[in-house]
Amino acid sequence: MNRGLLRIFDILIVIAFIALLYILIEPQYKMAKISTKRRKLQANMFTVKAGIERYISFHRGKYPTNSQQIYENLAELVIPVNPYTNEKIEVSDLVQFKYDLPIYVKDRSLDGVNGKQTGKPGQIGVGFFIPIGEDSIPTKYGIIGFDENGKSLVIKEGDKKRVVVLIE
């Protein structure tokens, strides 16, 4: 009878040890998954930037005026995969918006123009500044990504947080 109690006690110790390991490791695992998806989103932002730069170089310095033009140049490079859906990014995943002032392109504040943009998780936002009277030709652009909550991708630098924005 004494041996039976020892075996049960040994099994309970092993189960408690496994549960403790799970409790300690599981939050770090979840954070690592989130971090990996955010890094993939940033990589997708750089790929979209490469597609825009490719368009500009093949069109004598002119910026693309719609998502289709950007997407066609992405297709020549590589179509990125949305880290939240694991599907290739479509034209509809390239969300376009307009900046009212050229300084807004570089705005990295959480409550600024880029920080207030929203989209579906994994989408890429491309904002263009178009000066008045310039025949609707963009002269500056900014690229943002949308995280798992559909908000602009934010990174923490020390005690401060900022929106990740890729600019020309």
Domain assignments of the chain as residue spans, ordered by start: 2-167
- DSSP of 34-51: HHHHHHHHHHHHHHHHHH
CB 144 within 8 A of CB 124: yes
Helix (H, G, I), strand (E, B) or coil at 166: strand
Q: What is the pTM of this model?
A: 0.83
Q: Which residue has the higher pLDDT, 157 or 164?
A: 164
**pLDDT by residue (tens digit) across 9-51?**
889 899 999 999 988 889 899 989 999 999 999 999 999 999 9
**Segment 64-90, tens digit of pLDDT:** 888 899 998 888 888 899 999 999 999
Q: Are strands 124-129 and 94-99 parallel, antiparallel or unpaired?
A: parallel
